[in-house]
C-alpha cells in the first residue's frame, strides 16, 4: 500500500513541477525544438479594438463554410443526368429533373439536418463575403495597407475575389431555376469579351450554353480547387499577420516599435475561440429561422422558363445593377460586334474597381511620397482625401447595388420603371460626387475639433510670482477620458524588466 | 535580465495576489462568474436538446435553434470569461525590425547574381537550351489543356435548329394548329423533335404570339411572315440571353424579367426600353394545308446576346 503511494509520489516528483504537460513539452522539445518558439507564440500580443474582430468573422464563417460544405458533399450528386424525382417533396413528384437538383432537394428534406446544413452553408457564405468587405473597409480607412503590409492587402483582395467567385459557383450547383438564369447571364458576359469571348464561353461550359460539363466542372471548382486556393491564401494572410505583427491605433504607450494588447494565451485564445462559437451560433440560428434559397419553390432549371424579380446573391448585386442601368450601346463595325452594353458594366467596370484596389497602396505611396514603415493606424479623419475617396467608391457600389432591384422599387413605390431607371442613372454619378466633398469636409472638421465629443473645461488663469499671467485649461472631465487608452503599469506572467516605457511594461525577448 | 530567465515560465500563483492588473475587470466578479456559469449550463442543455432533436429527426428549425443557441451561449460565456475574469492588460511586446542589414541583403544578391548567374553566364548555350525546353513544355501543356475543354464555336452561334418546314411544337411536343391560340395569347415553341434537348431549350426557344385574325406584318419586307396573325420571335433576350418570359398583353410588349428590356411585338420586336441593343430575331412562319404552323426557314440572324464574331 504505502509502497504504491510512494511510487505515485515519486513519479509525480520525477515529472517536475509541470506534471504531464511538462513531460509532454520536454519530449516534444527534444525532438522538434518547440519550446522557444512556442513560448514566444503564447506570449504574442494582439491589440484590442472592436474593428480588429471583423477579419475574425470572415475567418470563422469560412470555418463554418468548410464544415457544412463537407456535410453537403456527402449527399449532393454533381450530375446533369435527368432523373424522375421521387422524393418526399410532393409538388415536384414525378417531374423530370437533373440529378443535381433532385439530390439538392433530397438533402434538404430527407437527410437529417440537411436543410439546416444547406441554409447554414448559404448564410455563412453571405456573411463570409460581407465580413471580408467590411474588414477590407476597416483596413482601407485606417491605412493598415501601408508599407510593410501591401502584400497582405493584395492577398486579402485576392481572397475576396475568390470568395465571390466561389459563392457564385456554389449558388449555381443546385441547378434550380434562379441559379440557371444566373449562369446564363455569366455565360453571356464571357461571350461579350472581344476576340476571345465565344472561345472562353465554350471552354468554360464545354460548348454552347448550357453545355454538357457545367455541373461537374463547377462542382470540382467549388469544393476542391477554389477552397484550396482560399485556404492557401488564408494561411498566407495569417502568416504575414503574425510575421509583421498586428497594427494598432495610436494611444498612450503605443509606438511604432511595440504592440500593446492582450497575450495570445490565454486571453486572446479564450476570446477568439468564444468568437468562433458565437459566429457558428449566429449562423446556426439564421439557418434555423431565416429561410434562404428555397430551391424547391423555384423549381428545376429550364432554359426556356424564368421567374419574376430574379436577383443574385448580394455580392453580385452591384454587377447586376450596372447591367440594368447601362444604356443599350452596342458597337458594330468591320463585321464585328462589341456588346458594350455588357462588356463595360460587367467586365470593364469590375476590372477597373478591383485593379484600382490592388494598385491603391502603390498609388498612395507614389502620390504622398510616403515610403515609411507604418505600424500605427490612421484615424480616418486624419486622411481626408483617402477617406473621401473610399467613401465615394462605396457609395457608387451601393447605388449600383440598389439599382439591381429597379423593378422591385418601381413596383413597391408605384413608379414607372423608366423614372426609377433614370433616377438610378443620375444617382450613380451624383451620390459619389456629393459623398466625396461631404466626407472630405467632415473629416477636416473633425481634425480641427480634437476635443469633439468632450465637454469644454474651465480655463484656469493664474499669476506667477514674477507677475506673469498664465492661462491653462483644466484637465478633461473624468468621464470624457478614454481610460482604455491610458497606459498602466503592466504585469506579465514573466518576471519582467521593470524599466517602464511610457508606463507600459516590456516583455523582453 | 538574461535570455534564459525571461523564458522561464512563471506560475500564476507566484504573481502577487494584490497586483491590480491581475484583478478581474468586472466590478463584481462573483456575479460575472455566475452569469458565465449560466451561459455554459444553457449551452450544455441546448446541446442535449440538439442531440435529442437529431435522434428523433426533428424539424430543421429545432435542430438549428438548439445547435445555434448552444453555440451562442458557449461563445458568450467564453468571451465574457476572457474579457472580464482573465488577467487584464495592456501587455506590451516589442516589434522586431524585419529588415536585414545591407550586408546580409548584399550577400543574398551576391549568391543569386554571382554564384547562380555566373554558372549560367559560363554556359550560355546550356542555359538557352534549358530555358527553351521549359518554355516549350509550358506552351505544349497549355494549348491542349485549353483546347480539350470544349469544342470551338465555329458557326454554332449563327444558326438554330429551326429549318424550312419545321413544325412548331410546345414543350410537351404537341404541334400548334392555327386555331389553337386566341388573339392575344402566347406560347413557347420549339422545332419539332428538339423540345427535349438542351440545345432546343437553350437556343431554339421561340415565342409564338397571335396578334390578330389576319395576316400581320411587323416590318417592311416581312409581309409573309405572320400568317393568320401569328408572329414568332426568338425567346432569347438580346441583352444577356435570359428568356423573354413576360408578355404585357395591353401594350403588346415582351418583357425580360432579368434586366427589364422591353420589345414591341407589333413592330419587329424593336427594343423600346432597357439595355437590350437589338430587336428579337423574327422567325418567318407559314401555315400548311392541314392548318399547322411551320417555319419558312431558320432565323435570318444569330439569336441571343452579342459577341465579337457577329456582324
* Residue A507 pLDDT greater than 60, yes or no: no
Same domain, B182 and B247: yes
- Residue with more model confidence, A98 or A494: A98
Contact criterion met (CB < 8 Å) for B60 and A281: no
Which of B179, B216, B203, B208 is closest to B283 using CA atoms?
Answer: B208
Q: What is the CA radius of gyration of chain B?
A: 38
Same domain, B168 and B288: yes
Compare all CA atoms of chain A with the CA of B62 and give the residue at the minimum distance: A288
Contact criterion met (CB < 8 Å) for A417 and B273: yes
Contact criterion met (CB < 8 Å) for A260 and B92: yes
Is residue B34 a part of any domain in this protein?
Answer: yes
pLDDT per residue as tens digits for the range B212-227: 888 888 888 898 898 9
B57 vs A: CB within 8 A: yes
* Residue A1 pLDDT greater than 90, yes or no: no
- Residue with more model confidence, A503 or A281: A281
pLDDT at position A398, please? 96
Is residue B142 a part of any domain in this protein?
Answer: yes
Instruction: Indicate whether this complex's ipTM tops 0.90.
Output: no
Query: Which of chain A's residues have a Cβ under 8 Å away from the Cβ of B197?
Result: none
Query: Which of chain B's residues have a Cβ under 8 Å away from the Cβ of A36?
Result: 7
| Confidence bin at B14 (pLDDT 50/70/90) | very low
pLDDT at position A6, please? 67
Residue A351: partners with Cβ closer than 8 Å, 6 or more residues away: none
Compare all CA atoms of chain B with the CA of A114 and give the residue at the minimum distance: B60
Q: What value does the mean pLDDT of chain B take?
A: 87
pLDDT per residue as tens digits for the range A460-481: 888 888 888 888 777 766 666 5
* Chain A nearest C-alpha distance from B298 (Å): 18
The pLDDT of A487-506, averaged and rounded, is: 41
Contact criterion met (CB < 8 Å) for A339 and B259: no
Query: Which of chain B's residues have a Cβ under 8 Å away from the Cβ of A212?
Result: 198
Interface of B with A in 14-33 (CB under 8 A): 15, 19-22
Same domain, B109 and B167: no
pLDDT at position A478, please? 63
Cα angle for residues B179, B181, B187 (degrees, 5° grid): 135
* Residue B55 pLDDT greater than 80, yes or no: yes
* Number of other CB atoms surrounding residue A134 within 10 Å: 15
* Separation of alpha carbons A165 and B32, rounded Å: 44
pLDDT at position A495, please? 36
Same domain, B12 and B111: no
Same domain, B119 and B174: no
Residue B274: partners with Cβ closer than 8 Å, 6 or more residues away: A324, A328, A421, B239, B256, B259, B260, B261, B262
Contact criterion met (CB < 8 Å) for B258 and A274: no
User: B interface mutation test: which of A53, A339, A505 has the most B CBs within 10 A?
Assistant: A339
Delineate the domains of chain A, giving CATH numbers in brackets: 2-33 (no CATH), 45-378 (1.20.810.10), 459-505 (no CATH)
* Residue A484 pLDDT greater than 60, yes or no: no
pLDDT at position A450, please? 57
pLDDT at position A17, please? 83
pLDDT per residue as tens digits for the range A128-149: 999 999 999 999 999 999 999 9
Distances (CA, A) of A481 to A189, A478, B26, B227, B290: 55, 6, 19, 85, 92
Give me the count of residues in chain A: 509
- Residue with more model confidence, B69 or A82: B69
Instruction: Provide the residue range defining the domain that includes B186.
Output: 159-295
Query: Which of chain B's residues have a Cβ under 8 Å away from the Cβ of A375?
Result: 95
pLDDT at position B29, please? 84
Compare all CA atoms of chain A with the CA of B148 and give the residue at the minimum distance: A203
* Residue B22 pLDDT greater than 70, yes or no: no
pLDDT per residue as tens digits for the range B140-184: 888 877 788 888 888 888 989 999 999 999 989 999 999 999 998
| Confidence bin at A4 (pLDDT 50/70/90) | low
pLDDT at position A37, please? 87
The pLDDT of A231-247, averaged and rounded, is: 95
Contact criterion met (CB < 8 Å) for B243 and A304: yes
Same domain, B72 and B108: no
* Separation of alpha carbons A379 and A387, rounded Å: 10
Contact criterion met (CB < 8 Å) for A332 and B86: no
User: B interface mutation test: which of A96, A193, A195, A274 has the most B CBs within 10 A?
Assistant: A274
Domain total of chain B: 3
* Residue A491 pLDDT greater than 80, yes or no: no
Same domain, B125 and B180: no
Same domain, B210 and B279: yes
Same domain, B180 and B138: no
Which of B95, B260, B308 lies at the smallest CB-CB distance from A406? B260
Counting residues of chain B whose pLDDT is more than 70, the rounded percentage is 91
pLDDT at position A451, please? 58
- Contacts A–B by Cβ distance under 8 A: 341
* CATH number of the domain encompassing residue B225: 2.102.10.10
Query: Which of chain A's residues have a Cβ under 8 Å away from the Cβ of B305?
Result: 188, 191-192, 339, 342
pLDDT per residue as tens digits for the range A404-438: 999 889 989 999 989 999 999 999 999 999 999 99
Residue A190: partners with Cβ closer than 8 Å, 6 or more residues away: A197, A200, A201, A204
Query: Which of chain B's residues have a Cβ under 8 Å away from the Cβ of A407?
Result: 257, 260
Compare all CA atoms of chain B with the CA of A17 and give the residue at the minimum distance: B11
Is residue B301 a part of any domain in this protein?
Answer: no
Same domain, B197 and B285: yes
Is residue B180 a part of any domain in this protein?
Answer: yes
Q: Lowest-pLDDT range, A194-198, A220-224, A232-236, A330-334?
A: A330-334
The pLDDT of A10-26, averaged and rounded, is: 83
pLDDT at position A290, please? 94
Same domain, B111 and B76: no
Same domain, B221 and B290: yes
| Confidence bin at A78 (pLDDT 50/70/90) | very high
Amino acid at each position: 500500500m504505502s509502497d504504491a503511494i510512494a511510487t505515485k509520489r515519486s513519479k509525480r516528483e520525477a515529472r517536475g513541477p509541470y506534471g504531464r504537460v511538462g513531460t509532454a513539452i520536454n519530449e516534444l522539445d527534444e525532438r522538434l525544438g518547440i519550446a522557444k518558439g512556442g513560448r514566444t507564440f503564447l506570449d504574442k500580443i494582439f491589440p484590442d479594438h472592436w474593428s480588429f474582430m471583423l477579419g475574425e468573422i470572415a475567418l470563422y464563417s469560412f470555418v463554418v463554410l468548410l464544415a457544412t460544405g463537407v456535410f453537403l458533399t456527402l449527399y449532393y450528386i454533381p450530375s446533369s443526368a435527368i432523373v424522375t424525382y421521387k422524393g418526399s417533396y410532393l409538388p415536384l413528384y414525378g417531374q423530370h429533373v437533373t440529378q443535381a437538383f433532385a439530390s439538392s432537394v433530397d438533402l434538404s428534406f430527407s437527410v437529417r439536418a440537411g436543410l439546416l446544413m444547406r441554409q447554414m452553408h448559404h448564410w455563412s457564405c453571405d456573411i463570409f463575403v460581407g465580413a471580408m468587405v467590411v474588414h477590407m473597409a476597416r483596413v482601407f480607412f485606417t491605412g493598415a495597407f501601408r508599407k510593410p503590409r501591401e502584400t497582405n492587402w493584395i492577398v486579402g483582395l485576392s481572397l475576396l475575389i475568390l470568395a465571390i467567385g466561389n459563392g457564385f459557383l456554389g449558388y449555381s450547383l443546385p441547378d434550380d431555376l434562379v441559379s440557371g438564369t444566373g449562369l446564363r447571364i455569366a455565360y453571356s458576359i464571357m461571350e461579350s469579351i472581344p476576340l476571345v469571348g465565344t472561345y472562353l464561353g465554350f471552354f468554360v461550359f464545354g460548348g454552347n450554353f448550357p453545355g454538357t460539363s457545367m455541373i461537374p466542372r463547377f462542382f470540382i471548382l467549388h469544393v476542391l480547387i477554389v477552397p484550396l486556393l482560399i485556404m492557401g491564401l488564408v494561411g498566407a494572410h495569417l502568416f504575414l499577420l503574425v510575421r509583421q505583427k498586428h497594427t494598432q491605433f495610436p494611444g498612450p504607450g503605443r509606438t511604432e516599435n511595440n504592440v500593446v494588447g492582450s497575450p495570445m494565451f490565454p486571453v486572446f485564445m479564450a476570446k477568439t475561440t468564444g468568437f468562433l462559437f458565437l459566429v457558428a451560433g449566429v449562423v446556426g440560428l439564421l439557418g434555423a429561422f431565416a429561410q434562404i434559397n428555397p430551391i424547391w419553390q423555384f423549381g428545376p432549371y429550364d432554359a426556356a422558363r424564368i421567374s419574376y424579380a430574379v436577383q443574385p446573391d448580394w455580392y453580385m448585386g452591384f454587377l447586376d445593377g450596372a447591367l440594368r442601368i447601362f444604356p443599350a450601346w452596342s458597337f458594330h463595325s468591320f463585321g464585328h460586334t462589341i456588346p458594350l452594353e455588357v462588356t463595360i458594366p460587367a467586365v470593364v467596370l469590375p476590372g477597373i474597381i478591383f485593379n484600382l484596389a490592388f494598385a491603391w497602396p502603390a498609388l498612395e505611396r507614389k502620390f504622398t511620397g510616403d515610403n515609411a514603415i507604418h505600424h500605427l493606424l490612421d484615424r480616418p479623419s486624419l486622411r481626408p482625401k483617402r477617406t473621401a475617396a473610399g467613401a465615394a467608391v462605396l457609395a457608387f457600389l451601393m447605388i449600383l447595388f440598389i439599382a439591381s432591384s429597379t423593378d422591385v422599387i418601381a413596383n413597391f413605390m408605384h413608379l414607372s420603371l423608366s423614372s426609377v431607371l433614370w433616377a438610378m442613372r443620375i444617382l450613380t454619378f451624383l451620390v459619389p460626387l456629393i459623398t466625396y466633398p461631404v466626407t472630405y469636409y467632415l473629416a477636416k472638421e473633425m481634425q480641427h475639433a480634437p476635443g469633439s465629443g468632450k465637454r469644454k473645461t474651465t480655463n484656469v488663469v493664474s499669476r506667477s510670482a514674477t507677475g506673469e499671467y498664465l492661462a491653462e485649461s483644466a484637465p478633461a472631465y473624468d468621464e470624457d477620458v478614454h481610460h482604455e487608452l491610458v497606459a498602466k503599469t503592466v504585469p506579465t506572467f514573466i518576471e519582467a524588466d521593470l524599466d517602464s516605457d511610457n508606463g507600459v511594461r516590456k516583455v523582453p525577448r | 535580465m538574461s535570455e534564459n530567465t525571461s523564458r522561464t515560465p512563471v506560475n500564476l500563483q507566484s504573481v502577487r495576489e494584490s497586483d491590480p492588473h491581475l484583478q478581474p475587470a468586472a466590478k463584481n466578479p462573483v456575479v460575472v462568474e455566475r452569469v458565465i456559469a449560466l451561459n455554459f449550463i444553457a449551452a450544455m442543455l441546448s446541446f442535449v436538446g440538439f442531440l435529442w432533436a437529431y435522434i428523433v429527426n426533428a424539424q430543421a428549425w429545432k435542430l438549428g435553434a438548439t445547435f445555434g443557441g448552444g453555440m451562442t451561449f458557449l461563445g458568450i460565456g467564453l468571451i465574457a470569461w476572457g474579457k472580464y475574469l482573465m488577467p487584464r492588460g495592456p501587455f506590451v511586446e516589442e516589434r522586431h525590425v524585419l529588415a536585414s542589414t545591407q550586408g546580409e541583403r548584399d550577400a543574398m544578391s551576391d549568391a543569386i547574381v554571382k554564384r547562380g548567374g555566373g554558372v549560367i553566364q559560363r554556359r550560355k548555350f546550356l542555359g538557352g537550351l534549358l530555358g527553351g525546353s521549359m518554355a516549350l513544355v509550358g506552351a505544349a501543356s497549355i494549348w491542349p489543356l485549353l483546347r480539350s475543354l470544349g469544342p470551338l464555336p465555329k458557326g454554332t452561334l449563327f444558326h438554330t435548329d429551326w429549318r424550312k418546314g419545321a413544325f412548331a411544337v410546345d414543350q410537351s411536343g404537341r404541334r400548334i394548329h392555327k386555331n389553337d391560340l386566341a388573339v392575344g395569347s402566347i406560347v413557347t415553341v420549339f422545332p419539332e423533335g428538339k423540345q427535349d434537348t438542351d440545345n432546343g431549350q437553350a437556343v431554339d426557344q421561340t415565342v409564338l404570339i397571335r396578334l390578330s385574325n389576319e395576316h400581320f406584318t411587323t416590318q417592311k419586307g416581312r409581309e409573309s411572315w405572320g400568317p393568320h396573325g401569328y408572329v414568332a420571335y426568338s425567346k432569347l433576350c438580346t441583352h444577356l440571353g435570359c428568356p423573354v418570359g413576360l408578355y404585357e398583353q395591353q401594350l403588346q410588349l415582351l418583357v425580360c424579367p432579368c434586366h427589364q428590356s422591353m420589345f414591341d411585338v407589333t413592330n419587329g420586336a424593336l427594343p423600346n426600353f432597357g439595355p437590350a441593343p437589338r430587336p428579337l430575331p423574327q422567325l418567318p412562319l407559314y401555315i400548311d394545308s392541314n392548318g399547322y404552323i411551320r417555319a419558312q426557314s431558320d432565323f435570318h440572324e444569330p439569336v441571343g446576346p452579342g459577341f465579337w464574331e457577329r456582324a
